[in-house]
Structure 1
Amino acid sequence: MNAAVLYTAGGPGNFILENRPVPAAEPGQVLVKIHAFGLNRSEIMTRKGFSPDVHFPRILGIECVGEVADDPSGEYQNGQQVAAFMGHMGRHYDGSYAEYTVLPKEILIPFSSKLPWETLGALPEMFQTAYGSLHIALKIQRGETILIRGGTSSVGLLAAQLAKSAGLHVIATTRDEAKKTLLLANGADDVMIDNGKLYEQANANNTPGVDNVLELIGTTTIKDSLKCAAAGGRVCMTGMLSEKWSIENFDPMGYIPAAVNLTVYDSGQIRVADEHFRQFLLDIEDGMISPAIKRTFKLAEISEAHCFMENNTGAGKIVVLI
């Protein structure tokens, strides 16, 4: 099989496309023939060497969609469509930047769909992250308001559609005035141009605090986002588009306003139930949800795909087709 292998941390050019034997599945594992996978910002950080628990050489990739090629237990038949979700994939063991991979059965969801692989490849972590942040972490309710900071990211665009369909008033942010139309087309009721000081903007316009904030930029903006929440409001830090893991000299009493709740969502720790993902596929097939896909690449173009992801300014998921 062909695989993109990372032997040392560094730039996008460090990926080496090489031919490797197809791995064999052991009990509790499934051999998956990969058809597509989405790229994720966390993979940039791993590639750069910012994931201390990852040892090289490693085949990266925290998600994929494909078909079962071998299940020693016989539970899954060959050809069964499956989606793989984050669970140390591409970190503690080899991931999806390859034509085949061996995965533990517990991170797989079997499904049946006529959607093209290009669309399916964009979905596992994008759905898991957006849905989990909204419904598990924030526990959104109809009639509430939500501020989505980092709205033009793939997760931000999908979260806006899901929140709108759940009956929320959606405010989304972008740093680019030209992307306002994109946000409005993906479920946003209002758009704020993010200059790093949303709380000051809201105060200047006498805008009341929101019930929910989905923080996708990360540690560089979380303090300002917390101020945007009303008393009793909820803030979920999910994304790290800023590529910075931690806050220096973190002072909880100084950072978190009184009666505002701060939480996180991490699909590696808690999973959305399988039936929600299958319903999500049906909603796409019925035209109720339209996931934004920015561009597709081939496996041999993985270095170019990483350059594109690192340099672009959002507006959809990047998918690699095998």
Structure 2
Amino acid sequence: MPAMMRAIAIASPGGPEALVLEERPVPAPAPGEILVRVAAAGVNRLDILQRKGNYPVPPGASDLPGLEVAGTVAETGPGVSRWQVGDQVAVLMAGGGYAQYATVAESCALPVPEGLSMVEAAALPEATFTVWNNVFERGALREGETFLVHGGTSGIGMTAIQIAKARGARVIATAGSEEKLAACLGWGADHAVNYRTADFVAEVMAATEGKGADVILDMVGGDYTGRNLEAAAEEGRIVQIAFLKGSRVTADLRLLMTKRLILTGSTLRARSIAFKAKLAEAVEREVWPLIASGRLKPAVHATLPLEQAREAHELMETSSHMGKIILKVD
């Protein structure tokens, strides 16, 4: 094992220029942890929030950005039972992914699905864990229901479209260009709405013959919150996972009451290892078979070397990508 590794750190809160290449000591796995030699790391909007100083690092987590990686187990800590050196894993982590090596609780790692490259595997953890928890556990999406997902060409969006469709839901996605609408339809959406040129509330109502969407997954916030209440069906569930347009909202609570809606939300990074372990079991049981059957395929928009993390963040901030942006580390 080398003593030092290359890593991308945040020099101080700011723009992409805040990301700097550093030499860091290779971390040692604690009891119950594995040390992963990182092959590829996913880039997420939460990394951008952390870079800007708006997403605090949970206690005990690495200060380096990076919430998901794929790689090879390089070392195991005391008490590790599932993994051995040489195993290939896809990992959800609380931080530290933008580096050659990273430690993670063994219970937060899943096997790299057969037939996938490391780059493709690195596109899976954050999106699959988030979608399963929020759409199917919190939102309780069922077969035959209508599902509306905003940001259909994001990593979360493209994953949600595919899983929801595979489990028998009718899927409506929003996106901001004709090219992105085509991508949503290609991933399985039944209907795609250009939010720049059409009213998604009217489109959802028309597509559902006035019923509305049973489950809505929203990462936009702002004025979308009130419009989601309008677009929701009676007994609908609206799940908030981000707020790109702001967390302060104005909404008509009469709709919440008269439609008997549930408005909920969650974050994942700071949840306990025990919670993430239980979620990992559900993802491996319910989602990993969809990958094996070909019904869920990770979409990678761009792959850049670790040293170009700044360019990766700049690309994400243009919102022009369709699918995941991945940093290739090894």
Mark yes or no: TM-score above 0.5.
yes
Q: Residues 290, 136 of structure 1: CA spacing in aligned structure 2 closer, same or farther, 3 A cutoff?
A: same
1 CA distance for matches of 2:113 and 2:296?
A: 18
Aligned residues: 313
2 CA distance for matches of 1:149 and 1:311?
A: 17
Structure 1 residue 212 and structure 2 residue 215: aligned? Answer: yes
**CA contact 2:112–2:121 (8 Å) conserved in 1:** no
Deviation at 1:286, TM superposition (A): 3.4
> Could you list the per-position Cα deviations for residues 114-172 of structure 1 after superposition, in whole angstroms to 9, with x for gaps in the alignment?
42101101011111112222211111111111111221212111211111111111111
Please say which of residues 259-268 and 148-157 is displaced more in the overlay.
259-268
Q: Residues 100, 27 of structure 1: CA spacing in aligned structure 2 closer, same or farther, 3 A cutoff?
A: same
Q: Which residue of 2 aligns with 1:128?
A: 129
- Alignment RMSD, CA only? 2.7
Deviation at 1:15, TM superposition (A): 1.3
Q: Residues 37, 312 of structure 1: CA spacing in aligned structure 2 closer, same or farther, 3 A cutoff?
A: same
Deviation at 1:260, TM superposition (A): 1.0
TM-score (norm 2): 0.85
2:74 to 69, 79, 85: 69
Deviation at 1:186, TM superposition (A): 1.0
TM-score (norm 1): 0.87
Please say which of residues 250-259 and 8-17 is displaced more in the overlay.
250-259
Structure 1 residue 198 and structure 2 residue 234: aligned? Answer: no
The amino acid across from 1:67 in the alignment is T
Task: Determine helix, strand or coil for the equivalent of 1:77.
Answer: coil
2 CA distance for matches of 1:182 and 1:52?
A: 33
2 CA distance for matches of 1:8 and 1:83?
A: 29
**CA contact 1:4–1:16 (8 Å) conserved in 2:** yes
Q: Residues 227, 118 of structure 1: CA spacing in aligned structure 2 closer, same or farther, 3 A cutoff?
A: same
Deviation at 1:281, TM superposition (A): 3.9
2 CA distance for matches of 1:264 and 1:177?
A: 29
The amino acid across from 2:168 in the alignment is G
Q: Which residue of 1 aligns with 2:89?
A: 82
> Could you list the per-position Cα deviations for residues 18-54 of structure 1 after superposition, in whole angstroms to 9, with x for gaps in the alignment?
2222122232332211111111111111101112457
Deviation at 1:175, TM superposition (A): 2.2
1 CA distance for matches of 2:288 and 2:229?
A: 33
1 CA distance for matches of 2:104 and 2:237?
A: 35
Structure 1 gap segments, 5+ residues each: none
2 CA distance for matches of 1:45 and 1:284?
A: 30
Q: Which residue of 2 aligns with 1:234?
A: 237
Q: Which residue of 2 aligns with 1:316?
A: 323
For 1:1-322, what aligned pairs fall within 5 Å after superposition?
1-53=5-57, 58-73=63-78, 75=81, 76-86=83-93, 89-90=94-95, 95-110=96-111, 113-195=114-196, 197-202=199-204, 207-240=210-243, 242=244, 244=246, 246-247=247-248, 253=253, 256-258=256-258, 259-268=260-269, 269=271, 270-271=275-276, 272-274=279-281, 276-277=283-284, 280-322=287-329
**CA contact 1:210–1:229 (8 Å) conserved in 2:** yes
Q: Residues 299, 209 of structure 1: CA spacing in aligned structure 2 closer, same or farther, 3 A cutoff?
A: same
**CA contact 1:132–1:267 (8 Å) conserved in 2:** no
Q: Residues 110, 186 of structure 1: CA spacing in aligned structure 2 closer, same or farther, 3 A cutoff?
A: closer
**CA contact 1:34–1:101 (8 Å) conserved in 2:** yes
The amino acid across from 1:3 in the alignment is A
Deviation at 1:179, TM superposition (A): 2.4
2 CA distance for matches of 1:319 and 1:216?
A: 21
2 CA distance for matches of 1:252 and 1:52?
A: 31
Deviation at 1:83, TM superposition (A): 2.4
> Could you list the per-position Cα deviations for residues 91-127 of structure 1 after superposition, in whole angstroms to 9, with x for gaps in the alignment?
xxxx111001222334333456342101101011111
Deviation at 1:67, TM superposition (A): 1.6
